[in-house]
Structure 1
Amino acid sequence: MYRNRPNLWGFLFISPQLIGLLIFSLVPLIYAFTLSFTSWNGFGASEFVGLTNYVSQFQNPDFWKAMLNTIYYMFLVVPIGIFISLLLSIGLNKIRGKEIYRVFFFMPVVTSSVSVGIIFMWILNGDFGILNQLLSYIGIDGPMWLTDTKWVIPSIALLSIWWGLGYNMVIFLAGLQGISQSYYEAASIDGATSFQKFRHITLPLLTPTTFFVTIMTIISSFQVFDQAFVMTQGGPAKASYTIVFHIYEQAFVDFTMGQSSSAAIILFVIILIFTLIQFKLQDRWVFYEK
């Protein structure tokens, strides 16, 4: 009995988070999975339809449009966002007062997505936005960022990169500070240059952090919704129509809850596959300090 007391205290302390996870994550997931096999408009009784909703999703052009837009967005946000946040973290790692810079860079992360979206609507306005005004000073005629089908996804990606920069930067800073200075001292004795230290010490030992940041950024990229909803409403011509926007529209505009749930389950499976692939490939490029 006394031997198990520490375990009981451990379970007691994690129980609020565990209960919240079960109630607000696991139960809704199971319910959505069940609902995906039914036809229901949100009122009255539901009707079991089997795999009809899933077949309808794969035959729906809007679903594929949303998926392609989301993947395009992901391929913009993930590499560019990780690269910039890595450079910033390296630059801030050695300077004085880095705690203050952390606060400034992290402030957008805790800012409301609606507020950020409205601000960027003004910045990226093609007629009187600040960005086009600045570009005009150097002789560049800026595009209609949010109303041009070619530029709307890059515009939303620009917002997301800026918005998530502080989070990734703080994670990278923690990874950099976890690297022992003895490696750099030994490299200095051997005559290694700064670039060689970065190439052969910093990058390899930072790969576990990079792996974590990559996984989280990919997951958040697939779940993009707020930016498109606030700034473009999925337009123009559904050029910023993302998969989560598709799920929202089917549930709360068309009131086809079964269709919406099936799209959500498909998204869950896609995210799971991407995550499992990353875990499978980590042995090839992730190096853990021994």
Structure 2
Amino acid sequence: MATAPGALGSSAPRRGDGRLAWLLIAPAVAGFLVFFAWPTVRGVYYSFTSFRILTPPRWTGLANWRELSGDSVFWHSLLVTVYFVALSVVVGVLLSLLIAVVLHRLTRSTVVRGLIILPFLISGVVAALVWQWMLDPQLGIISQLLESLTGVRLLFFGDSDWAIPSLAAVSVWKSMGYNAVLIFAGLQTIPASVYEAGRLDGASGFQMFRRLTVPLLRPILVMVVILTVIGSFQVFDIVSVTTQGGPANASNVLQMYIYEKGFGELDFGYASTMSLALFVLLIAITFTQMRLARANETDLS
């Protein structure tokens, strides 16, 4: 029997559905246009101008980009940022994977998962302040414990060699719980029959982890790596609170340099140029990672 127009189960769109849909998504579209699209377009325009906020922007073409290519501080900040990103990604993803596997093997308690993700929910400023107190060379509990065990007192944030590793440790601590929960969710999608087949073939636990778990987790791991890379390149709050880019520019990451140029020297034209360069760099890195890792493919059949 044919279904009457508008009857229950009919897939034909009803009159007025389009207007209702646009009404529902209008706040999100307005927010996107006002807080993302328009600032992006203005930022691209400012990158080709000399704009110091107190005077109208003056078109200078590629002058900012030529200055950027010869700016030694910019390239130093980029190298410092890449060092921070490398530490955060490698250590953070490995720890997150380990925590996710332990959760999957030993417990699936929602309380434990909530406690693990708790650092991610804490403000970056608060986390940076707490770690700055704990790593204080005079009064910090971690510094005192380390000195009592090894007899060595490290400056952590005050040492040029330890500043970036210390910042990376704080970043890893803050984000690894969230990443672990994402990987844990991916582990739950792997059928138990895959591991049963591996055990029947005589594979050890480590062999199954290396040849079954990791390949089947590839889409999730790629997503976690990409999110971690993007977040690490945009680090600002923990650096601003703990080291302010010091000592001797050892932790002067790119976001700190952009902030200094924009809000310290009021050179918003050049700051926009560096921001646009970072934006293009992140797009290139993201697409390269997705292409090389085949993020849109899965080995699950």
Which runs of no fewer than 5 residues in structure 1 stay unpaired?
A: none
Q: 2:223 touches 2:295 (CA, 8 Å); kept in 1?
A: no
Q: Hey, what does 2:9 align to over in structure 1?
A: none
Q: % of aligned pairs identical?
A: 35
Instruction: Report whether the alignment pairs 1:139 with 2:150.
Output: yes
Aligned-pair CA distance for 1:109: 0.8
Q: 2:77 touches 2:254 (CA, 8 Å); kept in 1?
A: yes
Which runs of no fewer than 5 residues in structure 2 stay unpaired?
A: 7-11
Q: Hey, what does 1:217 align to over in structure 2?
A: 228
Q: 2:158 touches 2:246 (CA, 8 Å); kept in 1?
A: yes
Distance 1:84 1:10 in 2: 43
Distance 1:162 1:286 in 2: 30
Deviates more, 1:275-284 or 1:210-219: 275-284
Instruction: Report whether the alignment pairs 1:253 with 2:264.
Output: yes
Deviates more, 1:112-121 or 1:12-21: 12-21
Distance 1:58 1:4 in 2: 55
Amino acid corresponding to residue 196 of structure 1 in structure 2 = Q
Q: 1:63 touches 1:246 (CA, 8 Å); kept in 2?
A: yes
Structure 2 residue corresponding to 1:193, chosen from 204, 222, 229: 204
> Map of 1:139-218 to 2, 5 A cutoff?
139-218=150-229
Q: Hey, what does 1:237 align to over in structure 2?
A: 248
Distance 2:150 2:136 in 1: 18
Aligned-pair CA distance for 1:191: 3.3
Aligned-pair CA distance for 1:285: 11
Distance 1:30 1:275 in 2: 21
Distance 1:211 1:18 in 2: 29
> Map of 1:11-160 to 2, 5 A cutoff?
13-96=24-107, 98-160=109-171
TM-score (norm 1): 0.93
Amino acid corresponding to residue 209 of structure 1 in structure 2 = I
Instruction: Report whether the alignment pairs 1:269 with 2:280.
Output: yes
Aligned-pair CA distance for 1:108: 1.1
Distance 1:137 1:285 in 2: 50
Number of equivalenced pairs: 290
TM-score (norm 2): 0.90
Distance 2:226 2:21 in 1: 28
After superposition, the CA RMSD in angstroms is 2.1
